């Protein structure tokens, strides 16, 4: 036996003899026992893993959670709130429970969980980053609705080495029994809890590409508190018409009305006006007013090709807002009119060369720019918006600063059903902006404190105190209205954008009188800045024009020099041929002349 072990472990016999000599321990007695225990352990591991595998295959239901889907964020938020997670002895602590997949990563997590912060007992303030505890890697049993469930968290080591450990994570939940209804109930509860947290918020998504492939997907980038529609500074009649139109479109009976008449169930709106007039703010407020998610598409992105955009639009839910911001900057403006003008001008001015088969564009020196391969074209965008395979049930909002630059096919009726103009602030809008900034709202002075004196007051005294507070509120409101009219009287109408006025008022948000006193200075400074910008822009334009003229003159001079060289070259060639002709030998010339004379004599004889 020792000889066999000495064969596999050289020197073992020497060690065994030394132990027997000095410690009086005979290893020949213990070695079979150790081998038996090792064999039993190996058999137990194999048998238990085989038994558990068969148990999962035939007697358990399992749901696997993907880390690249939003369900991961939903489920981990639910797990962190359960007792088995908070009482686990081996756990992971996080300030952000969301998936580490880059296109699901949300940087606004602190804003979403601001209400869950732990209150600081020293100063009474809230800490935004609350700690969340989730079970560590391994298997964890817990009870849910009187059923024993298993939460398993593991790390897949077979995935690419470039991924972080948190990106290789895999989680699953199992239950005993072949009916998975308890797992579905758990997922529905987790989703309801997640949606309840976002009930008063507007979810914003952006189109992006998946990390491991080129497939497009929607990424949740943030969740903002729904903006009250009353805070949007716009003509009241225009606001009412817009809200009524969207309300009628989203009504359940409207879809049936569209379907019965064979009309595509879509609605489009175009918001145009100068920058800073509130076009994007209205889109966000509209989505919050109707409790819809907003999906933002950037047509200027390098990934905004026809295939990716079509895939994104097919993934849209039926009830949502799609926002195409600054569509005039996407390079799709007036493309059809420009093509027609180029073809017309080319056919009218450029004649066809001998051997030319097609007319062309009439500009061979400076051919028109060709869109890069894979870029979005106007026809591709139109097919995505209202083509045969386009999505129905969504509210499409397009914004632009220059309505005149848009192609007529893009804004024709049927694609754009309502056009809303955003102009510069008039007197009423200026006063409304002032009231929105300086009106006394609940929570402006921090959390309301109920003092001991208020608690000790009798009902009559408490009613009198409430009446006094109401009178004070009405007096403050009347004072703000008067100040708003005074401020609006000092601001010229239709000259400044709402964003410019809001920026001035925000600098004096605690002192409305200072905002009024500096109104004249604001007007003068803004006009001066605009004039300087216009002068600078004109100077840049003049320099660009001069540079273009210089380049044209230089090019013309180069062409003339090239033409002169060609003429000189042709003259030299002609002189060379003439000199070559004159330099022929006299004998050759005489032979040629004699031959010509013989030919003449032969002709005379024939005649």
Which of the four pLDDT bands, split at 50, 70 and 90, describes residue 56?
confident
Residue 395: strand pairing partners:
267, 321
Give the per-residue pLDDT at 363.
Answer: 44
Strand, helix or coil for residue 129 = coil
For the cut 60, the answer to whether the pLDDT of residue 580 exceeds it is: yes
DSSP conformational letter for 119: B
How far is CA 371 from its chain centroid?
23
List b or e across 224-258, with b for residues whose CB sees 16 or more CB atoms inside 10 angstroms.
Answer: eebbebeebbbeeeebeebeeebeebeeeeeeeeb
Reduced DSSP (H G I as helix, E B as strand, rest coil) percent helix, strand, coil of the chain, to 5: 50, 15, 35
| pLDDT of res. 62 | 92
Q: Per-residue DSSP letters for 14-32?
A: HHHHHHHHHT---HHHHHH
Q: pLDDT category, 371, cuts 50, 70, 90?
A: very low
**DSSP-derived secondary structure for 60-84:** EEEEEE-TTSHHHHHHHHHHHTSHH
pLDDT tens-digit series, residues 21-40? 888 777 777 777 878 898 89
| Percent of the chain residues past pLDDT 90, beyond the cut | 23
**pLDDT tens across 68-80, in order?**
788 888 899 899 9
By C-alpha distance, which of 484, 392, 476, 386 is closest to 437? Answer: 484
Cα–Cα distance measured from residue 70 to residue 436, given in angstroms and rounded to the nearest whole number: 37
pLDDT tens-digit readout, 120-148: 444 444 445 678 888 998 899 999 999 99
Residue, of 103 and 240, whose pLDDT is higher: 240
- SS3 category, 317: coil
pLDDT of residue 118: 47
Q: What is the mean pLDDT of residues 452-458?
A: 55
The span from the CA of 478 to the CA of 474, in Å, is 6
Q: For 402-420, what is each residue's pLDDT tens digit?
A: 888 888 888 888 889 999 9
Q: Which pair of structure tokens corresponds to residue 396?
A: 């499409």
Closest CA to 202 of 223, 228, 182, 187: 223
Q: Band of the pLDDT at 446, cuts 50, 70, 90?
A: low
Cα–Cα distance measured from residue 503 to residue 501, given in angstroms and rounded to the nearest whole number:
5
Beta strands 395-400 and 320-324, pairing class: parallel
Whether the model clears a pTM of 0.85, i.e. scores above it, the answer is no
Residue where the block lists tokens 């410019």:
500
Residue 460: which pLDDT band, with cuts at 50, 70 and 90? confident
Mean pLDDT computed over 199-215: 80
Of 264-268, 302-306, 403-407, 442-446, give the lowest mean pLDDT range. Answer: 442-446
Say whether pLDDT at 58 is over 60.
Answer: yes
How confident is the model at residue 1, as a pLDDT? 59
In the prediction, which pLDDT does 246 show? Answer: 93
More confident: 457 or 240: 240
Write down the pLDDT at residue 370.
41
pLDDT at 585: 56
Average pLDDT, the chain: 79
What does the alpha-carbon distance between residue 428 and residue 414 come to, in Å, rounded to a whole number? 33
The Cα 275–Cα 505 span in angstroms is: 18
Closest CA to 262 of 370, 382, 392, 78: 392
Range among 180-184, 227-231, 437-441, 507-511 rated most confident:
180-184
Q: Of the segments 181-190, 297-306, 353-362, which one has the largest average pLDDT value?
A: 181-190
User: 116 is written with which tokens?
Assistant: 């869950």
Q: Indicate the pLDDT class of residue 445, thresholds 50, 70 and 90.
A: low
Give percent above pLDDT 70 in the chain.
77
At residue 326 the predicted structure's pLDDT band, cuts being 50, 70 and 90, is: confident
Region of poorest pLDDT, from 164-173, 176-185, 388-397, 474-483: 164-173
pLDDT band at 360, cuts 50/70/90? very low
Query: What integer pLDDT is reported at residue 201 of this predicted model?
Result: 87
In 3D, which of 373, 365, 371, 494 has the Cα closest to residue 429?
A: 494
Residue with the larger pLDDT of the pair 158 and 108: 158
pLDDT score recorded for residue 182:
94
152 bridge partner residues: 139, 172
How far is Cα 277 from Cα 425, in angstroms, rounded to an integer? 8
pLDDT tens string 520-578: 999 999 999 989 988 888 888 889 888 989 898 888 888 888 888 888 888 888 888 88
Other Cβ atoms less than 10 A from the Cβ of 266: the count is 19
Question: Quick check: 285 and 228 in contact, CB under 8 A?
Answer: yes
476 and 431 Cβ atoms separated by less than 8 Å: no
């Amino acid at each position: 036996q020792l000889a066999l072990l000495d064969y596999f472990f050289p020197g073992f016999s020497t060690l065994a003899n030394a132990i027997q000599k000095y410690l009086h321990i005979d290893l020949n007695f213990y070695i079979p026992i150790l081998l038996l225990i090792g064999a039993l352990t190996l058999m137990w591991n194999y048998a238990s893993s085989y038994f558990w595998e068969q148990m999962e295959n035939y007697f358990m239901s399992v749901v696997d959670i993907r880390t690249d889907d939003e369900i991961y964020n939903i489920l981990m938020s639910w797990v962190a709130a359960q007792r088995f997670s908070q009482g686990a002895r081996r756990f992971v602590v996080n300030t952000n429970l969301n998936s580490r997949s880059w296109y699901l990563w949300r940087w606004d997590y602190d804003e979403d969980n601001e209400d869950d912060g732990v209150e600081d007992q020293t100063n009474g303030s809230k800490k935004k980053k609350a700690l969340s505890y989730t079970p560590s890697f391994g298997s964890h049993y817990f009870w849910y609705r009187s059923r024993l469930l298993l939460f398993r968290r593991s790390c897949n080591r077979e995935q690419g080495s470039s991924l972080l450990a948190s990106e290789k994570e895999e989680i699953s939940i199992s239950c005993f029994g072949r009916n998975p209804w308890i797992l579905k109930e758990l997922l529905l509860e987790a989703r309801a809890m997640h949606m309840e947290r976002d009930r008063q918020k507007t979810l914003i998504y952006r189109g992006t590409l998946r990390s491991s492939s080129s497939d497009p997907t929607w990424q949740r980038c943030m969740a903002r508190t729904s903006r009250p529609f009353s805070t949007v500074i716009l003509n009241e009649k225009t606001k009412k018409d817009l809200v009524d139109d969207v309300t009628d479109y989203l009504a359940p009976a409207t879809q049936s009305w569209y379907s019965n008449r064979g009309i595509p169930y879509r609605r489009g709106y175009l918001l145009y006006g100068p920058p800073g007039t509130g076009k994007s703010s209205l889109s966000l407020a509209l989505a919050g007013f109707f409790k819809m998610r907003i999906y933002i598409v950037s047509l200027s992105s390098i990934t905004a090709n026809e295939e990716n955009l079509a895939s994104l639009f097919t993934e849209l839910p039926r009830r949502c807002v799609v926002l195409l911001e600054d569509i005039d900057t996407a390079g799709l403006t007036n493309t059809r009119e420009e093509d027609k003008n180029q073809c017309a001008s080319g056919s009218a001015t450029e004649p066809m060369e001998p051997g030319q088969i097609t007319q062309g564009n009439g500009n061979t020196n400076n051919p028109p720019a060709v869109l890069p391969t894979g870029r979005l074209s106007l026809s591709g965008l139109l097919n995505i918006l209202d083509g045969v395979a386009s999505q129905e049930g969504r509210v499409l909002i397009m914004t632009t600063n220059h309505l005149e630059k848009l192609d007529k096919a893009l804004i024709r009726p049927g694609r754009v059903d309502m056009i809303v103009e955003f102009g510069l602030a008039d007197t009423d809008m200026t006063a409304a902006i002032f009231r929105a900034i300086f009106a006394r709202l609940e929570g402006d002075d921090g959390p309301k404190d109920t003092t001991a004196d208020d608690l000790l007051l009798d009902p009559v005294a408490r009613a009198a105190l409430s009446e006094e507070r109401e009178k004070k509120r009405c007096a403050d409101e009347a004072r703000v209205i008067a100040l708003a009219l005074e401020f609006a009287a000092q601001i010229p109408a239709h000259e400044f954008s709402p964003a410019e006025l809001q920026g001035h008022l925000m600098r004096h948000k605690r002192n409305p009188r200072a905002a009024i006193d500096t109104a004249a200075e604001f007007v003068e400074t803004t006009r001066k800045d605009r004039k300087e910008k216009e002068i600078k822009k004109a100077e840049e334009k003049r320099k660009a024009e001069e540079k273009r003229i210089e380049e044209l003159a230089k090019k013309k001079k180069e062409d003339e020099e090239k033409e002169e060289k060609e003429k000189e070259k042709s003259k030299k060639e002609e002189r060379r041929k003439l000199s070559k002709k004159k330099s022929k030998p006299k004998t050759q010339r005489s032979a040629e002349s004699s031959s010509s004379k013989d030919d003449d004599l032969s002709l005379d004889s024939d005649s």
